[in-house]
Structure 1
Amino acid sequence: MACVLEGPLRISVLSEVTATSRHYVDRLFDPDPQKVLQGVIDMKNAVIGNNKQKANLIVLGAVPRLLYLLQQVSSSPELRTECAVVLGSLAMGTENNIKSLVDCHIIPALLQGLLCPDLTFIEACLRCLRTVFISPVTPVQLLYTDPTVIPHLMSLLSRSERTQEYITQIFSHCCKTPEHQTVLFNHGAIQNIALLLISPSYKVRMQALKCFSVLAYENTQVSMTLVNVLVDGELLSQVFVRMMQRDQPIEMQLTAAKCLTYMCRAGAIRTDDNCVILKLDHDLKHAHELRQAAFKLYASLGSNDEDIRKKITETENMMDRIVSGLSESSIKVRLAAVRCLHSLSRSVQQLRTSFHDHAVWKPLMKLLQNAPDEVLVMASSTLCNLLLEFSPSKEPILESGVIELLCSLTQSDSPALRVNGIWALMNMAFQADQKVKMEIVRSLGTEQLFRLLSDPDTNVLMKTLGLLRNLLSTRPHIDHIMSSHGKQIMQAVTLILEGEHSTEVKEQTLCILANIADGNTAKDLIMTNDDMLQKIKYYMGHSNVKLQLAATFCISNLIWNEEDGSQERQDKLREMGFVDILHKLTQASDPNLCDRAKTAMQQYLA
C-alpha cells in the first residue's frame, strides 16, 4: 500500500483557547464601566497582528458582547468607539473571522452606529464596515437592504477626509451589478464623489477614482452623465487626463485610464478625442510601466478568487496579452506577466482550458532558459502547477526535456529555486511511468539527491522527501529503483531518522520506508536491517501519533499475508516484540492508529 504525494504538504494546527483570552472576555462583563473600557483597550492591543488571539476571542463570544456595548446609548462615546476599533481589528483576520462577524449581525449594528453625532465613533464604525465589506466572503447586498443607508452615507461624505475615504471604498467594493450602479447613481453618487477628485488627500482621490471606474463599467447612463460633469470648473474627462500624467502614481494612472476607456466604450467620448489619442498612446517606457501595473493588478485580483480568475481569462485577448508579456523587452513587464500567469495557474479549470488552449508552457519554458533569478522563481513556481497530474500541459512539457532543466535548478544557490526545482520534479513523478521516474533518478544523480536530503532549508528537504515518496510508488517501480539505489536510499533514511529533524520531516521519511516495505523484493532491505527495524519499533512507541501511525503502516506492509515470505517476516517481527506493541496500539485513543494496529494484528490471526 504505497503512498504518493502531490502538491504542497500541509500542516494541520488546532487553535488552543487560552486562559488569557478568557480573561479578556470576562472583563467585558465587569460592572464598573471604567474597567470595561480598560478591558476593551487591552483587548485592542492584544489582537493587533495576532490572528490566533482574534480567533480565540471570537470563539469565546467576545463579538456579541462588543456589539452590545457598542449599541448601548448608556455606553460612553469612548467605549463605543473602542468597541468599533476592536471589531475592525477582528475583521482584519481570516475570512472565517469575517463570516463570524457577519453572522453576529455586525453590519446592521455598525450602520445604526452611523446615526450617532460623534464623528470619532462614526469614523471607527465606517473603518470597520470598510474592512468587512472589502472581504470577498461578505454579501455586498447587505449594504442595500435598508433603503435609508445609501443616502445617509452620501450625507456623511462631507464630515471628514476619513469618512470620504472609507465610504468611497465601501461603494467601490459593493458596486457589483447594474442595479447597484443605478442605486448609487440615483442617490447622487456622481455629484457627491466628483468633488473628492480634487481632495488634498491622495487616499480620498484614489478611492473616488475607483468609485467612478466601477460606476462607469459597461454603463451608458453613468458614462453619458460623467462627460458633462464639472469639477471646480474643469470637465471630469480632463480631470481623468490629468490623473494619467506621468508624475502621478501608476495605480492612479491605470484607474483613470480605465474610467476614460469605459466612457469611450459607452460612446460618451469619441475614439478620436484628444484625451484618448494623446493619453492612451504613451511612449514605450511609459507603456511598459502601465502594462506592468496592469499585470500586477490582475495577479493580485486573481490570487485567491476562482470567479475573478475565470473573468480574467475570459476577457477578450487577455491570455494572448499575458503570453506576449512573457517575451517583452522590459524585464519588469516579463516578471509581472509571469506573476499574473502564476496567479491564474492556481485554478484547476484554467489549467485544463485556457493554459492548454494557448500552449502557455512553450513561452514559459523559453523564459526558463535564460532569465534573472526573480523571474526564474516565479516562472518555475508556475511550472510546478502546470506539471500537476490533471494538467494537459504535463505531457508536452515532459517531452520537451524539462527534467534536465529542473535538476539544474535544484543546484541553485537560491533556496527558492531549489524548492521549485524539486517541487516540480515531485509533481512530475506523481503516478508517472517507470521510464520517467528512472530519467529523474538518472538526471538528478545520487550525490545531488543526498545533498538535497541534507539541505539546510526545510522546504527543500520536505519536497525532496515528497519526490522520493512519489518515485517509490507502484511495486515494480519500488523494486526497480531500490535494486539500483537501495543502499544509498536506506542510508539517507537512517540519517534522517537519527537526526534532529521536525516531526513532519520524520513522518515523511517513515512514509517512504512504508512504501519500500510494500515492494516485493525491496522489503528485504528493511527485514535484513535489524537497526532499521529497531528504529521502526522506537517510532511505534513514540509520543507523536503521526509518527506512530507511519511506523505502524510500515510494519503492516511487511507482514501482509498475501505476499511471499510473509510467515518468515511475521515470525521474526514477533520475536523482536512487534506483536506486543501492536496489541498495545489496538487500545490507542487515536482512532486511525487503533484501526491500523488492528488491521496489522489481523495478519497474524489469519
Structure 2
Amino acid sequence: MNSNKHAQALVELDSPDPVIRVKALRFIKNNIIGNKTKKDLYISLDVIPKLVSFFKNKETIDPQVQIQAAIVLGSFAYGGESNVTELIKHDAVKPLLGCISIKNDPRLIEAAARALKAIYKCPTADKNDIFQDTHLRDLITLLNPDSLNPKTDREKIATIHTSELAATIIARCCETNEQQIQIANAGAFPALVKLLVCGFSKAQEAALDALAYLCRENAEYGKAIVETKSEANDSPVKIMLNLIRDKSPTMQLVSAKCLTHLSRANAIMEYSNDIILIVLPTLVKLLDEKGPVREEAPQVLAYLICDNEELQKAACDSGAVLKLADFVTHVGDQDNSYYDPLGDSDKLKENALMALAAISSLTEDGRKLVVDAKIVPHIVKAMSHRSYGVRAAACQCTRSLSRSVNILRTNLVDAGIATPLFKLLSDESTDVQTVACATVCNIVLEFSPMKKIIIEHGGIEKLAELARSSDNTLRLNAIWALKNFVYDVESDAKDSVMKALTYSTLEKLIEDQEIDIQEKALNLLRNLASRPNDIEDVFKELGENQLMDIIESKLSCWNEEIIKQILYLINNVATGSDNHKKAIMSRPNILSQIKNYMSHKNPDIRVIAVWCLINLAWTEDKHNSPGRVRELRQLGFEEMVKSMTNDEDLDVREKVKTALSQFSQV
C-alpha cells in the first residue's frame, strides 16, 4: 500500500459523509493494528488531532465514526509509551473518558475503555482526569455487567469484557492513598467482589488485581475488603484461596498477589497458615512458568516475605533461592535471550534480585543459601547493568548480604564490590543512588577497611553532596552513611568528612523538615564528639554557644529518638575536659531537662540521663569534682537518683548505684 492511499484516508476523514469517514477509519485501523511502522506513519501525518475532534461534538458526529475512532486511538495506545505521549499531548484522554458513560453505545464504551486501559498502562500517564466529573462513578457502574442491560449471551459476554476493562483501569489508577480513598468511596469494593464470582476468568483476574492495589499498604481497606461478602455471602478470602488453585497460572498469580497485599496490610492474620502453606508455595511454583507470570512472581514473593523472618525461612526451605539464582545467572543481557523470549529479561532479573534481597535480609541461613548458589559475582556485575532497576535491585541484594560481616569481609570484597558500588553514588537514577547510600551505610559500619577505600574513591565528597539533595530519602541515606563512617574513626577521618560536609550544612540537617534526618544528623554530631580531642574540635568549629543552643533546643523535642541522640551527645561532651563539662553546667535549662528525663517512661532514656549525671560529676582532677557534685546536689539530682534505686529496669538501677557513690564521696 503506497503512501498516497494513507494520505487519501486522512483526506476522507474530513468528509461530511459518515459512511466515507467510517470506511477511512477502518482502512487506517486495518493498517496500523500490529504494525509499528504504519502507526508511526499516521502519527507523523497528524491523524490523532483529527480522531480526537470526532468526540468534541457528539450530537453532530455519527456514532459509528466515534466507535471506529476510539478503536484506532486504542490501537495507537497499544504501540508503546511514545504513542501514549502523543495521545496525551493531543488531549485524547478526556474525550475517551467521556465515552464510558452507560448512556452511550456499549460498543463505544468498550472501545474507549480498551484505549484507556492501554493509556493507563503507561507509567507517565496522568491519572488525575479519571477523578474528575462523573468518570470514576461511570467506571464503578461498568464493573457490574448488568448495568448495560445485555439481552443475548453474546451481549452478556461483551459487557463482562467491559467490566474487565473497567477493573483493569481502576487497578492502574490507585497508586496513591488519596486515589485509593476516592475509588473506595465510589463503591468499588462490593462491585469488585461481585466480579470475583462472575465465572469469567479474565474479569476475575482484573478484579483481583484491582483489589490488590486498593489494599496495598492500607490496613483499613484490607479489612474492608475482607468484610465485603459476595452476593452468596462468601468470604472474599475464601474465594481467593479457591481461585489460587485454578489451573491458569495468571489466575494463580493475581490471587497470590491479592492475598499477599491483604497479608501485608495485616488484614488476614487468621489465615497465616494459608499464606505459608498455599500462597508462598504457589509463588515459588510460578517461577517455573514462562513469560509475564514468571516475570512478576519474584516481585510478589519479595513483597510477601519482606520484613517477615518466618516467611523468609519458608522461602529458603521451598527451594526458591536456586530458582531465583538461576535467573540472575542465566537471563542474558542480549535481546534474544532464550530464557524468556516472551517476557522482559531485564525485569525478570530485577525482580529475582529483589526476591533474593528479601530472602537474605533477616536470616543468616538465607544469606548463606545465596552465597552457596555462587551468584555473588553476578550480583556485583549486575550493579553495572544497563537497566537502572537491575542496578538498584543488585544494590539492595548487596545491602542484605552485607548484614553478615563474614560475607562482607570475604565474598563481597573478593567480588570487587567497592568500585561499582561507589560508581552508583553518581548514578543517573535517584532510586539507585538512594539504595547505594543505604548499602554504604551497612558496609562502613561493619567493615572498617572499607572506610579507607571510600576516601580513596572520593566517596566522602559524593556522600556530602548527596546529603544536600532535595530528595528526602536520598538526603537521609547520605547523612546516615556519613554518621556511620565517623563512628569510631580517627580525628583525621572526621576532619575529612566535615571538610566535605561543613558544619553549616550539618546545622541545616539538624533542623531538617524530616525528623529522621534530624536524628541522623544529631547522631553524626554525637559521633564527631566521641573523644576529648574531637570534642574540642567540635567546640572550635561549631562554637561552644552554638553547640549548647542546639542541645538546649533539641532537648525539648517530642521525638524519643531525638532525645536519645541529644542525651548521648551531652554524655559524650561530659566525658571531655573540665571546660567541656562547665559548658553544660552553665546552662540551667539543659541540667533541668536531664533531671526531668530521669523519670521518663522509656528506660533507655532514663539510663542515658543518669549516665550524663555520672560523667558530669566525675573528673580526674579531685579539686574540681566536689564543686560540681555540690552544685548538682543543690539542683536536686541526688534526691532524684535516690528515688530511682528501685527502678524496674536493671540497667537504670546499676547506673543509679554509680551516681549515688559519687555523691557519697562529697
TM-score (norm 1): 0.55
Looking at structure 2, the residues matched to 253 and 454 of structure 1 have their Cα atoms a distance apart, in angstroms, of 40
1:307 is aligned to 2:365: yes
Q: Identify which of 538, 554, 560 aligns with 1:496.
A: 554
Residue 435 of structure 1 is aligned with which of 485, 492, 497? 492
Partner of 1:469: 526
CA separation of 1:484 and 1:252: change in aligned 2, threshold 3 A:
closer
Report Cα offsets for 1:262-289 as digits up to 9, x if no partner. Answer: 9xx9xxxxx9xxxxx9862678994433
| Contact 2:645–2:657 (8 Å) recurs in 1 | yes
In the TM superposition, what is the alpha-carbon distance from 1:539 to its structure 2 partner?
A: 3.1
> Are residues 1:597 and 2:634 paired?
no
Q: Contact (CA 8 Å) 1:356, 1:392: kept in 2 or not? A: no
1:131 alignment partner, one of 275, 291, 294? 275
Counting only pairs closer than 5 Å after superposition, residues 441-452 of structure 1 correspond to structure 2 as: 441-452=498-509
Q: Paired residues, what number? A: 384
Structural mapping, 1:221-260, within 5 Å:
244-245=290-291, 250-251=295-296
Is this contact kept in 2: 1:422–1:464, CA < 8 A? Answer: yes
1:342 alignment partner, one of 395, 399, 403: 399
Give the corresponding residue for 1:570. 629
1:487 aligns with 2:548: no
> Displacement, 1:495?
1.1
Amino acid at match of 1:374: D
Alignment match of 1:540 (pick from 580, 591, 598): 598
Matched, 1:584 2:643: yes
1:282/1:450 CA distance change after superposition, 3 Å:
same
Distance 1:128 1:420 in 2: 33
Provide the residue aligned with 1:34 in structure 2: none
1:310-329 alignment, distance < 5 Å: 310-316=368-374, 318-329=375-386
Note closer, same or farther for the CA distance 1:367–1:207 as it changes in structure 2 (3 Å cut).
Answer: closer
Contact 2:632 2:638 in 1 (8 A): yes
Once the two structures are TM-superposed, the CA of residue 471 in structure 1 deviates from its matched residue by 1.5
Deviation per residue, 1:433-460 (Å, 9 max, x gap): 1111222233222221121111121211
Q: Do the aligned partners of 2:290 and 2:340 also contact (CA within 8 Å) in 1?
A: no
CA distance in structure 2 between the aligned counterparts of 1:559 and 1:254, rounded to whole angstroms = 56
CA distance in 2, matches of 1:280, 1:340: 25
What is the aligned counterpart of 1:363 among 417, 420, 431? 420
Write the letter of the residue equivalent to 1:313: V
Distance, in Å, in 1 between the alignment partners of 2:590 and 2:390 is 53
- Maintained 8 Å contact 2:425/2:463: no
Q: Which amino acid aligns with 2:470?
A: D
Partner of 2:228: none
8 Å contact 1:452–1:460 — kept in the other structure?
yes
Shift of 1:325: 1.6
**Which whole-Å deviations, capped at 9, do the CAs of 1:298-344 have from their partners, x for residues lacking one?**
2233233322322222334x222222222222223222322322232
The CA distance in 1 between the partners of 2:633 and 2:286, in whole Å, is 76
Give the aligned residue type for 1:530. P
Opposite residue 575 of structure 1, the aligned amino acid is Q
1:382 to 434, 439, 461: 439
**1:478: which partner in 2?**
535
Structure 1 match to 2:114: none
Q: Secondary structure at the match of 1:411?
A: coil
Shift in Å, 1:386: 1.2
Alignment partners' CA distance in 2, 1:404 and 1:370:
15
| Cα offset, 1:92, TM superposition | 5.8
SS in 2 for 1:393: helix
Distance in 1 (alpha carbons) for counterparts of 2:630 and 2:336: 87
% same residue? 30
C-alpha distance 337-569 of structure 1, shift in aligned 2 (>3 A): same
Query: What pairs with 1:57-456 in structure 2 (closer than 5 Å)?
Result: 129-133=273-277, 166=278, 172=281, 209-210=286-287, 244-245=290-291, 250-251=295-296, 280=338, 286-316=344-374, 318-456=375-513
Equivalent residues of 1:407, 1:422 under 8 A apart: yes
Q: CA deviation at 1:208?
A: 5.3
* Structure 1: distance between partners of 2:501 and 2:452: 20
What letter matches 1:244 in structure 2?
A: K
Report the TM-score when normalising by structure 2.
Answer: 0.51
Tell me how far apart the structure 2 counterparts of residues 344 and 567 of structure 1 sit (CA, whole Å).
52
Task: Give the CA deviation at 1:431.
Answer: 0.8
Q: Structure 2 stretches of 5 or more lacking a match?
A: 1-217, 224-234, 243-258, 301-318
Question: Does the 8 A contact of 1:326 with 1:338 survive in 2?
Answer: yes
Q: 1:336 to 1:284 in 2, by over 3 A?
A: farther
Aligned-pair CA distance for 1:359: 2.1
Letter in structure 2 aligned against 1:250? E
Deviation at 1:497, TM superposition (A): 1.5
Structure 2 counterpart of 1:123: none
Q: How much has 1:469 moved relative to structure 2?
A: 1.9
- The match for 1:150 is none
Structure 1 unaligned regions, length at least 5: 1-47, 54-77, 102-126, 134-165, 173-202, 214-242, 266-270, 272-276
Q: Which has the higher contact order (CA 8 A, sep 6+)?
A: 1
Code of the residue aligned with 1:595 in structure 2: it is E
Q: What code does the residue aligned with 1:353 have?
A: T
398-407 or 415-424, which deviates more? 398-407
